[in-house]
Structure 1
């Protein structure tokens, strides 16, 4: 099993950032899904029906490729990512 890689997640609608440990072989899409499964319905209101998730480096406006692996993204440990949703 791969070591877990720490990312800081700023999920739209959450009151603060959260630490999320992910497998470096996970895709960006899988990171977004893990964050959603961890936070939505607990600290974030349920998302609108059909909402899609987009991941960006914190403070950037470029949406990351959902198929890219965490290990290929060039993240540093504890890098902050914004996860936003749209319907």
Structure 2
């Protein structure tokens, strides 16, 4: 009986870890998409005269930092 409970516990822990990993991936994807949106908005504002090059550079820097930390998979979906 103990062996069964140990296996069940191990399976449950593995399932939880996989679920957490998937949630983390989805959150990183959403954050990356939001950073791309902000970069586009900053660039548009700069080109239309209501934004600054600094804001565009800041948005690009934030996007690059996110890509360095999480990869660029969100750009390919």
TM > 0.5 between the two? no
The TM-score, its normalising length taken from structure 1, stands at 0.22
> Which structure is higher in RCO with an 8 Å CA cutoff and minimum separation 6?
1
Asked which structure has the greater CA Rg, the reply is 2
Using structure 2 for the length normalisation, give the TM-score: 0.24
